[in-house]
C-alpha cells in the first residue's frame, strides 16, 4: 500500500540537509545553547535564570503580523520553522508580531491560528497553547529603551522626518550627526519619559539608537527605535502613545522567548548587525539572558503566476477581483485549502523546494505536482462528464432487455485502482448515457480514436459500442450521438476483449447520474511574474481563470462531503467545495489540479 510518494510526503523521514540544518546540528554538537534556562514563559534574564535548563533543544518561531491572511510563502516559513523544531527536539513559537497598532485585526489572528493548525503544527510547547503576542512585551521594550538611554546608547531626536532623511546620507555619503545627538543621558531620559507621558505631538520626535552616523551599513546610522503614535492598540488599548519600531522590537521578542535560531527572509540581512548590536547591549546590561538568539536569512518563496504579498492579495479581495480571501484561485492558505490542497501536499512542497540563500522562482507546476502526488494515492475515483451530450444506444432494448424497455445493467469499478480494500463503486448503464461532447466528431481529425460514424470504442467499465452518427440541432451541431452496443463485450466478462478498440471513453448513465456545478479554475494571472519589477499585476489578471459548468456525475458522488477530494477519471482532481457544497442539496466541485497526462486519444 505504501508508495514512494506517500513516503516522501511523510514528515518523519530523513530530510535533505540544508544550511540551516547544518547550523543547528553544529550548535547542538557544540552545546551552544545547552546552558540556557527556561522560565516557563517569555521573560527577561532574571525570569529565565530562575527556571530549569531549557528542555527544548532549540527554539524557533513563526512571527506573522496579523494584517492579512497567510499565503503559500508563509506556508514555506511555517513548515521550515515548525519542521526544524520538530526534527531537532525543539519548540517552535507562534507569535503575533502586533507591535504596529494601526494594522492589526482579530479576523486575521483567527485565520492565522487556523492555518498553522491546519498545516499540522502545535506551538509554544503544548497543544492549544495560546500564541505569544509581541505587544505583551511593550513594558520590557520600554525598559530596554530606557537602559539604552541611560547607558548613552540612545537619544531623543527632534529633527523633522525630512531633516532626518537628509542627514542620513546614502551609500556613497556618510550621514551627519543630529544637533540633538550630544544631549546627556539625563536630558534624554527626561525627554523620553515626556514622550511616553503624552507631552509631545505625534511625529514631533523619536528615540534613536546612538551608533555611528558614518557607518557603511545605513541601518546602523542611528536607527529610530521608538515613535510617538496616539493609536488604540487591540491588546494594550490606550496604555501607550509611543510604540517601538519593528527593528527594535523584533530582536527583543526573540530574546525574551529564548529563541535560538531566528529564521527570516533575505531582505532582513542588512538588519542583522543592528539585531546583534541591540541584543549585545541588553545582554551586557543584564536585562536579557545569554547567549542571545541569532538571525539567519533564507530566500523567500517566489512562485510563478502567483503573488505573495499580503498587501497585493488584499487589493484583489477589496477590489472584488476574486470572491474573497478563500477564493480557490488565491494563493492564501484558505484559498489553497478550498481549492483542494491538503496540508500534506504543502508540506511536501516545502520539503521539495528546500531552503537556499539566493532568490529564485519556483515553477507553479512544482506546487501542482505535489498536490497530484499526494492525492493520487488517496483520492477515490469517480466518473464525471463535464460537457455532457446524450448518447443513445439504439439496440439496447433488443440486446439487453430482450425487447423490454428500460432495462438497466449494473456496472462497477474500483474506488481506487491500487487499493482494492476500498471496494467498488456501483452505477448503471441504460439505453441513454452522457458522454463528453468532445468525444464525438463527425469528421475525425487524424489520430482521433473516439466516436465517429463507423468507429468502435469502449464505454469504460461497460460495453464496446459502435458509432452510427448523430442527430443535429437547427444550427447543425450534434445534439444526440447514436451508437449500437456490441453484445458480449462487457468489461470483465469472458471474451469481452474479443473486439479490439483504440479508444475508451468515460460516461455516466442518464438513469442514475446527477447534475453538479463544477468550477474549472485556471491560473489567476497570465504573466509568470505578475508583480515583478513594479508591474501592475491587475493588468495580467487571467479573464478565464474561472469557468463554471454543469456536469453530470456518477451516483457515488451524491454522498460526497464538503472538502472531500476525488479523481474524476481522465479529467483531474476535484474537491467538493467547503463552502457551497451541501450533500443532498447542492453539489459543487472545484478543479484542484488536472492530471499530469492528457487523456489518451
Whole-angstrom distance, CA of residue 191 vs CA of residue 414: 77
What lies within 8 Å, CB to CB, of 163 at 6+ separation is: 178
Q: Which is nearer to ligand ATP, 100 or 590 (CB)?
A: 100
Among 191, 310, 337, 570, the one annotated catalytic:
310
Q: State the pairing for strand pair 132-133/572-576.
A: unpaired
Closest CB 423 distance from ligand ATP, rounded Å: 42
- The question of whether 300 is a catalytic residue gets the answer yes
Closest CB 521 distance from Mg ion, rounded Å: 28
| Residue of 343, 296, 247 lying closest to 81 (CA atoms) | 296
Q: Which is nearer to Mg ion, 65 or 387 (CB)?
A: 65
Please identify, among the stretches 57-65, 183-191, 194-202, 463-471, the one whose residues bind Mg ion according to the rule CB under 5 A: 57-65
Among 300, 352, 390, 460, the one annotated catalytic:
300
Q: Which does 300 bind (CB under 5 to 8 A by kind): Mg ion, ligand ATP, none?
A: ligand ATP
| Residue of 265, 386, 291, 338 lying closest to 578 (CA atoms) | 338
Binding residues for ligand ATP, per CB under 6 A? Answer: 63-65, 73-74, 76-77, 264-265, 300-301, 308-310
Whole-angstrom distance, CA of residue 72 vs CA of residue 75: 5
Coil, helix or strand at residue 330 = coil
Q: Which does 513 bind (CB under 5 to 8 A by kind): Mg ion, ligand ATP, none?
A: none
Whole-angstrom distance, CA of residue 595 vs CA of residue 169: 56
Closest CB 174 distance from ligand ATP, rounded Å: 31
Among 8, 21, 65, 193, the one annotated catalytic:
65
Closest CB 210 distance from ligand ATP, rounded Å: 28
Q: Which residue is nearest to Mg ion (CB)?
A: 65
| The dihedral formed by the CA atoms of 350, 355, 361 and 365, expressed in degrees to the nearest 10 | -30
Closest CB 246 distance from Mg ion, rounded Å: 8
* Distance, C-alpha 114 to centroid of its chain: 12
Helix, strand, coil % over all residues of the chain, rounded to 5:
30, 25, 45
Signed CA dihedral, 377, 382, 388, 390: sign only: positive
Q: Which does 308 bind (CB under 5 to 8 A by kind): Mg ion, ligand ATP, none?
A: ligand ATP
Q: Which does 564 bind (CB under 5 to 8 A by kind): ligand ATP, Mg ion, none?
A: none
The values of phi and psi at residue 255, to 5°, are -70, -40
CB 453 within 8 A of CB 442: yes
Q: Which does 32 bind (CB under 5 to 8 A by kind): ligand ATP, Mg ion, none?
A: none
Coil, helix or strand at residue 24 = helix
Whole-angstrom distance, CA of residue 221 vs CA of residue 177: 9
Please identify, among the stretches 64-72, 149-157, 278-286, 344-352, the one whose residues bind Mg ion according to the rule CB under 5 A: 64-72
**Three cell numbers, residue 220:** 546602523
Q: Which is nearer to ligand ATP, 192 or 243 (CB)?
A: 243
Q: Which is nearer to ligand ATP, 45 or 112 (CB)?
A: 112
Q: Which residue is nearest to ligand ATP (CB)?
A: 73
Q: Which does 310 bind (CB under 5 to 8 A by kind): Mg ion, ligand ATP, none?
A: ligand ATP
Q: Which residues form the catalytic set?
A: 65, 300, 310
Residues in contact with Mg ion by the rule CB under 5 A: 65
Amino acid at each position: 500500500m505504501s508508495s514512494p510518494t506517500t513516503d516522501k510526503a511523510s514528515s518523519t523521514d530523513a530530510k535533505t540537509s540544508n544550511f540551516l540544518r547544518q547550523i543547528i546540528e553544529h550548535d547542538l554538537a557544540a552545546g551552544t545553547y545547552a546552558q540556557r534556562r527556561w522560565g516557563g514563559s517569555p521573560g527577561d534574564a532574571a525570569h529565565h535564570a530562575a527556571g530549569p535548563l531549557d528542555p527544548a533543544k532549540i527554539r524557533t518561531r513563526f512571527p506573522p503580523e496579523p494584517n492579512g491572511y497567510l499565503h503559500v510563502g508563509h506556508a514555506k516559513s511555517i513548515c521550515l520553522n515548525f519542521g526544524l523544531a520538530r526534527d531537532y527536539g525543539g519548540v517552535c513559537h507562534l507569535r503575533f508580531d502586533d507591535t504596529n497598532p494601526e494594522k492589526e485585526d482579530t479576523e486575521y489572528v483567527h485565520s492565522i491560528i487556523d492555518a498553522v493548525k491546519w498545516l499540522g503544527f502545535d506551538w509554544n510547547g503544548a497543544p492549544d497553547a495560546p500564541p505569544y503576542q509581541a505587544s505583551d512585551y511593550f513594558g520590557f521594550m520600554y525598559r530596554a529603551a530606557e537602559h539604552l538611554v541611560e547607558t548613552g546608547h540612545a537619544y531623543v531626536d527632534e529633527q523633522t522626518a525630512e531633516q532626518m532623511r537628509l542627514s542620513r546620507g546614502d551609500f556613497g555619503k556618510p550621514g551627519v550627526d543630529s544637533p540633538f545627538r550630544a544631549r546627556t543621558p539625563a536630558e534624554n531620559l527626561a525627554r523620553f519619559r515626556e514622550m511616553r507621558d503624552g507631552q509631545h505631538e505625534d511625529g514631533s520626535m523619536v528615540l534613536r539608537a546612538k551608533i555611528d552616523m558614518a557607518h557603511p551599513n545605513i541601518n546602523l546610522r542611528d536607527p529610530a527605535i521608538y515613535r510617538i503614535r496616539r493609536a488604540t492598540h487591540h491588546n494594550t488599548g490606550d496604555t501607550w502613545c509611543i510604540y517601538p519600531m519593528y527593528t527594535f522590537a523584533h530582536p527583543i521578542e526573540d530574546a525574551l522567548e529564548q529563541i535560538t535560531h531566528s529564521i527570516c527572509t533575505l531582505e532582513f540581512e542588512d538588519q542583522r548587525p543592528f539585531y546583534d548590536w541591540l541584543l549585545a547591549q541588553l545582554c551586557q546590561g543584564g536585562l536579557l539572558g545569554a547567549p542571545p538568539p541569532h538571525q539567519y536569512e533564507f530566500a523567500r518563496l517566489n512562485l510563478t503566476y502567483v503573488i505573495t504579498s499580503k498587501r497585493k492579495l488584499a487589493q484583489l479581495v477589496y477590489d472584488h477581483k476574486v470572491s474573497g480571501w478563500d477564493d480557490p484561485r488565491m494563493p492564501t492558505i484558505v484559498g489553497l485549502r478550498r481549492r483542494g490542497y491538503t496540508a500534506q501536499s504543502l508540506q511536501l512542497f516545502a520539503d521539495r523546494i528546500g531552503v537556499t540563500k539566493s532568490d529564485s522562482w519556483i515553477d507553479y507546476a512544482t506546487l501542482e505536482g505535489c498536490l497530484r502526488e499526494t492525492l493520487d494515492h488517496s483520492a477515490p475515483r469517480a466518473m464525471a462528464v463535464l460537457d455532457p451530450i446524450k448518447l443513445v444506444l439504439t439496440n439496447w432494448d433488443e440486446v439487453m432487455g430482450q425487447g423490454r424497455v428500460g432495462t438497466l445493467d449494473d456496472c462497477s469499478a474500483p474506488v481506487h485502482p491500487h487499493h482494492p480494500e476500498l471496494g467498488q463503486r456501483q452505477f448503471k448503464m441504460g439505453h441513454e448515457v452522457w458522454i463528453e461532447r468532445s468525444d464525438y466528431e463527425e469528421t475525425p481529425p487524424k489520430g482521433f480514436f473516439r466516436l465517429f460514424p463507423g468507429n468502435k470504442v469502449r464505454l469504460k467499465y461497460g460495453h464496446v459500442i459502435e458509432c452510427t452518427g448523430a442527430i443535429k440541432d437547427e444550427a447543425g451541431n450534434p445534439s444526440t450521438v447514436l451508437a449500437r452496443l456490441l453484445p458480449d463485450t462487457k468489461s470483465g466478462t469472458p471474451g469481452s476483449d474479443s473486439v479490439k478498440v483504440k479508444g475508451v471513453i468515460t460516461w455516466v448513465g442518464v438513469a442514475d447520474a446527477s447534475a453538479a456545478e463544477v468550477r474549472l479554475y485556471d491560473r489567476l494571472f497570465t504573466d509568470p511574474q505578475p508583480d515583478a519589477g513594479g508591474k501592475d499585476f491587475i493588468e495580467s489578471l487571467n479573464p478565464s481563470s474561472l469557468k463554471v459548468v454543469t456536469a453530470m456525475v456518477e451516483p457515488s458522488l451524491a454522498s460526497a462531503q464538503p472538502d472531500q477530494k476525488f479523481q474524476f477519471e481522465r479529467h483531474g482532481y476535484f474537491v467538493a467545495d467547503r463552502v457551497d457544497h451541501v450533500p443532498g442539496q447542492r453539489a459543487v466541485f472545484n478543479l484542484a489540479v488536472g492530471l499530469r497526462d492528457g487523456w489518451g486519444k
